Amino acid sequence: MGAAFFYHLTRRPLEATLPTLLIRALGNDWRVVVRGANARRMDWLDEKLWLLESEPFLPHGLAGGEFDADQPILLTTDSAIPNGAVCLMSMDGADVTPDEVQRMERVCVLFDGGDGAALEKARSQWRALTRAGCSAQYWSEESGRWEKKTEA
């Protein structure tokens, strides 16, 4: 049974935080699906990941291609997980179900702490997942480094 980790972004933007989490997931030999709510935003993320100058390279692709099943990291707006991912990273308020949390090794919900709507969406997701019996952790970077603030 997995757990949902909520990452409250207050100091670094998504494009700086997500690669760190992706590197850790790949280091655990996990395939990852990154789910967003907007196709244009996923195109933007795809470009950001290709242009990263850090190591290691993050092998990824946008969903809808011939080789979706082969992608170690698949970027999508869909609920399907054709690459057999065991880690789901949700951004921009993309939906996550309790069943996905139970099935996956890890679910990460990343949300912008400066965006009131994103904050409320994350709170709503936390309530829905924990009421369904999912294990959840809330992580904040408010102090300058990531700290676990609460667990349910």
pLDDT tier for residue 46 given thresholds of 50, 70 and 90:
very high
pLDDT tier for residue 57 given thresholds of 50, 70 and 90:
confident
- According to the model, what pLDDT value does residue 81 have? 95
Closest by Cα among 128, 110, 106, 129 to 118:
110
- According to the model, what pLDDT value does residue 124 have? 97
pTM of this prediction?
A: 0.94
- According to the model, what pLDDT value does residue 53 have? 72
State the architecture of 3-151 in CATH terms. 3-Layer(aba) Sandwich (3.40)
* Element containing residue 98 per DSSP (H, E): helix 98-103
**Cβ-proximal residues to 84 (8 Å cutoff; 6+ apart), any chain:** 31, 69
